Structure 1
């Protein structure tokens, strides 16, 4: 059953670093947000909430559209909530960066959610999060392992398809299955490779990850 995006008073310790990170509260992680205020047929206003971080001066809210991969930054000043107009039926991720009086900044955890849309009974999977090799890294061959993570509000992921190659928009499929890694992928020294993962659920909804790249030394 899907949960609303109501707040979590328990909080979290966030991303560590020089001080305490803001503890995210709402929208809840890996949920469908149904508490947004109607703007029009395609948009609603969602209030982001977090708990106060120690020694904080300013909060910056970052909201990423997981379809377009566009990230917007909002200056919330010293407030612990901020309202943003979002597209309906769209997955988002978000986090809060706290600027301390000492001048240091600390980032919270990153949460993700689906902003509710009309008539949706089965949500597409969240885009897979590519783990390794990390973006723009340099690695050694002659073979390596591709790793990622996947999630879906309905918990009905059917398969992952991996596209890999030297083209900036890879179209060669090298794997389809339920596991979240591919071992013994052959690579050539001096080449730059690109890869992405398309996640499909049992309802036929498919979502592509961003394209990652790495270079083989």
Structure 2
């Protein structure tokens, strides 16, 4: 009888403790900002040329209903420098270098949730005086991505080329185990190179240089990935 009472007491304690454990709070994410201007993959013609070294570019995006503020960011695609701003508005102007490719995005924030949401990333060219043509945007590396780990002996290098003048001519692709990789393919006209052989337990580096019909070019920047055992 006594053992039965002890058993019932233990069961009651377990139920009591379980009832005190609260379920984890699930926070909703803020809404996704929708970018407006500068327009994707175009020259920003609404910018104001202040001098030979400064162009003021206006940025705007749609308001997110549940956002209290926004984190704005714009990146120089030639030197990877980033300007960030926190604002409660949906528009602002930033002084940038003229005739330069940039990428920009906006992150929505709310005091009611710690989970933020980023917009898509849009590229554009800042306006400048006297420029009739623009170098292509640096190639976007699609696969393998930076820091990716693969486990196969043959891979496909994939990238994306974009030009506001729609005049990309070719790509030079550099690939190897050194952080200054040798030339793998010169004058490539497609956006991928299939059947590239790799070795297990090795780190590889690669980058793509994009050329347009006028001889202008840009570099994607160096990417790396690792190969594990097959």
- Structure 2-normalised TM-score? 0.83
| Residue 206 in structure 1 maps to residue 217 in structure 2 | yes
**Size of the alignment, in residue pairs?**
200
Aligned residues of 2:75 and 2:103 also touching (Cα < 8 A):
yes
**What are the residue-to-residue correspondences of 1:98-137 with 2, within 5 Å?**
98-100=108-110, 101-137=112-148
Moved over 3 A (4+): none
Offset at residue 73 of structure 1 (A): 1.3
Question: Matches of 2:156 and 2:186 in 1, distance apart?
Answer: 12
SS in 2 for 1:56: coil
Offset at residue 54 of structure 1 (A): 1.9
**What are the residue-to-residue correspondences of 1:185-204 with 2, within 5 Å?**
185-204=196-215
Match of 1:94 among 90, 104, 116: 104
Q: C-alpha deviations, 1:14-62, integer Å up to 9, x for none?
A: xxx9242111111111111122223321111111101101200110101
* Matching residue of 1:73: 84
Match of 2:190 among 179, 194, 209: 179
Offset at residue 140 of structure 1 (A): 1.6
> Could you list the runs of 5+ residues in structure 1 that have no partner in the other structure?
1-16
Q: C-alpha deviations, 1:44-90, integer Å up to 9, x for none?
A: 111110110120011010101010012221111x1001111100010
Aligned residues of 1:175 and 1:182 also touching (Cα < 8 A):
no
Question: Matches of 2:186 and 2:195 in 1, distance apart?
Answer: 12
Pick the structure with more strand per residue.
Answer: 1
> Could you list the runs of 5+ residues in structure 2 that have no partner in the other structure?
1-27
Query: Greater Rg, structure 1 or structure 2?
Result: 2
Question: Matches of 1:151 and 1:69 in 2, distance apart?
Answer: 18
